[in-house]
Structure formats: C-alpha cells, structure tokens
Amino acid sequence: MVGWLWQGYDLAYRWLHGLEDLPTEKGAFLRMGVERHRGARVALRDGTVVEPGDLVGTIHFNNEAVAALHDGKVNPVRSGILILRAFERSLHALARLLDTARYRDVKAFTAITILHQSIEGFGFEIHPLPSGWRSRVVAAYGRFVLTRFHPLGRERERQKPFDARVTWISTAELRRRYAPDRR
C-alpha cells in the first residue's frame, strides 16, 4: 500500500513541478526543474544575487536511482563513493545543458535536502532553512525517503538527527567547475 501511494505522490510531484530526468551516460541520477524563486534575496559567494522572481533550477534526487546504488550487494562505503560519482557526472551533464532554452536564463541551482554534509566539495553553498513548518516537513520527508530507500532503513535514520538545509550553486560556478572544457 505504501509503495503504491509513494509512486502516486512521486508522479504527481514530478508533474506539478515540471521535473525532467537529467540523463548521463550511466542513467538519470537527478531530476531537474526550473521555477521562479519565491524566497528572500540570496547572495552567493561568487557575487551572484538571486532575487525573488529570478529563474532558478531545482535539483531533486531520482530516489530509485540512488536506491539502486544501495542494492545490498555493495558495501556502504562503496555505495557512498558510487553516489558521489553519480552526482558529479550529473553536474557535468547539467553544465552541458546550460545554454539550452530550458536553462539559459537560470541564475543558480538549488536543492533543499537533509543530505547536505558532503555537497560543499562540489561547489555548493549551504544555507539554513528558516525553522518553521517547511523545514519540519522537508526533514520529515527526507527521513521518510531515507527509511524507504536506504538499505539500513530506520536504523540509519536513528543514527543521527537530520536537519534540512538549502544548497545553492550559481550557474557561473557550475559552468566554471563542470563545463565540458573543464573535464
């Protein structure tokens, strides 16, 4: 029953937010959306300023693809390495698309996640998510996804508390780090 409800919710969410799979040579690890920024003004370290109403790219994990890297046959350290490599491949794929119509006017890319611990090494900045209902809902959703898709399930979720954060990378920084000529 939970699986059926999950699939329905996931499909509806992807449709409502216009998420598209971001293909790489080894599958689609991320799903991407583009929307108008509805939050407060965000100033990034490289000088990019995201104002309310600016176009931003939204980054979402393809949970099934992440789960496949935890197929029970790979040890947890190896799974972590595979996930980091898949994430980096996805950023290279995204950088190749920056001049397409979908991303041409996007100022920065953002994700709200409980899995923000290692993302700074990829050029992302971590910003706090103001406490309130949204941060609690995102954290609860993240914990649900973690218990559903991580092989250690609830045990992993109980190991430490997870808080939701907003991560940002400017389009300029993404291009600088991951554009094809940088490979």
Q: Residue 29's domain is classified under what CATH number?
A: 3.40.630
Tell me the pLDDT of the chain (183 aa) as tens digits: 556 676 777 788 788 888 999 999 988 999 999 999 998 999 999 999 999 999 999 999 887 787 777 666 667 777 778 888 999 999 999 999 999 999 999 999 999 877 667 788 899 999 987 766 665 666 666 666 666 555 555 454 455 556 778 899 999 999 999 997 754
CA dihedral over 128, 111, 11, 4, signed as positive or negative:
negative
Q: Number of structural domains, the chain?
A: 1
Percent helix / strand / coil, the chain, rounded to 5: 45, 25, 35
For 137-180, give the secondary structure using H, E and C. Answer: HHHHHHHHHHHHHCCCHHHHHHHCCCCCEEEEEEHHHHHHHHCH
Report yes or no on whether pTM surpasses 0.75.
Answer: yes
Q: Residue 141: give the domain boundaries.
A: 2-182
